[in-house]
Amino acid sequence: MVALAGDPDVPERTGETLTVGDLAREYGFTDTDGTQPEPFEIPDAPEA
């Protein structure tokens, strides 16, 4: 997460939904076992 904290372009992503899988690939970080979390899609909320 240090890479994310040090990224000067982070403010441009305000309002985006960011997932750990996508961030892991973008910034190259891994889980405690050395793997990168799989990217996933967050389904749209059902209409009320």
Give me the torsion for CA of 41, 42, 47, 48, rounded to 10°: 160
Predicted confidence at residue 17, as pLDDT, reads 83
List, in order, residues 6 or more apart from 30 with CB less than 8 Å away: 24, 36
pTM of the model: 0.64
Predicted confidence at residue 33, as pLDDT, reads 95
How do residues 2-31 score in pLDDT, each as one tens digit?
888 889 998 998 888 888 888 999 999 888
